[in-house]
Each structure stands twice: as structure tokens, then as C-alpha cells.
Structure 1
Amino acid sequence: MPYVNIKITNENVSSEKKAAIIVGVTKLLEEIMQKNPETTVVVIDEVSTDNWGIGGEAVTVRRIRKNI
């Protein structure tokens, strides 16, 4: 039973896009690993850009800095 946890920043990703990710990951595991799609679990966690850091700073700060 595969369990896949995908973390993305919470920046208005539509339900349709999340559904497409779930379908795509499930199909990929079925095709590549011969895993049963009926027992494949895909979880998408949305994380605030304030809580996601890259290179020692929050994504929120990086994006503000790059737009200046």
C-alpha cells in the first residue's frame, strides 16, 4: 500500500489541479511500480509560504525580495 505525501505552498492551487496530481501520481505508481491504485494513498499538504524556508529564509520573504 503506497503512501505518497506531497507538500506544496498554499497559493490557491485549484481542486482540479490537486485532483490531477492525485490521479497522475496514482497512475505513475501503477505503471512504474505495478502498485494497485485501489490501495494507493496520496496526501497533499498545503503549507504557508511563511512556514516554508529555502536558503535560510521564508519563501514569503524571498518572493518579496525578488519582486523589489
Structure 2
Amino acid sequence: MPVVEVHMRAGRSEDDKRRLIQEITDVITQVLGSERERVVVLLDEVDPRSWGQGGRVLADELASPGE
């Protein structure tokens, strides 16, 4: 049973998340030949205040674009 875990910033629409799950499942079934029903996709939505990159907090970057 393939399990795919995606960590991403919170705030995407339900439609975007649904499409992401469907398309990841499609790729896994095509590449690995797994049965669609056996593919598990976990979306871990992280609050931007809890996401750091390059020593900076993502929420700060989103609040002041272009700096």
C-alpha cells in the first residue's frame, strides 16, 4: 500500500486539495501499478506561523511581500 505524505501551507481550497489527491493517486497507479483503492494520500496543512524557511517565518514573508 503506497502512502504519500504532502506537507504544505494551510489555506488551499477544498477543490485544490481534492484535485491534488486525485492526481497524486493517478501518478502512483501509473508508475507503480498499484490499485487505486490501496493508494493513501495524507495532506498535512501547516500554519504559516509554524513554517520556517531560510531562517524566516513564512507568515512574516506573506505579510510583507517584496522585502
TM-score class, shorter-chain normalisation, is 0.7 to 0.9
Q: Which runs of 4+ in 1 moved over 6 A?
A: none
Q: Any stretches of 5+ residues in structure 1 without a counterpart?
A: none
Q: Calculate percent identity across the aligned residue pairs.
A: 25
Q: Any stretches of 5+ residues in structure 2 without a counterpart?
A: none
CA RMSD of aligned residues (A): 1.3
- The match for 2:8 is 8
Q: CA deviation at 1:64?
A: 2.6
The count of aligned residue pairs is 67
- Residue 65 and residue 14 in structure 1: after superposition, are their counterparts in 2 closer, same or farther (change >3 A)? closer
TM-score, normalised to structure 2's length?
A: 0.88
Query: Distance in 1 between the 2:26 and 2:2 partners?
Result: 12
Query: Distance in 2 between the 1:55 and 1:65 partners?
Result: 16
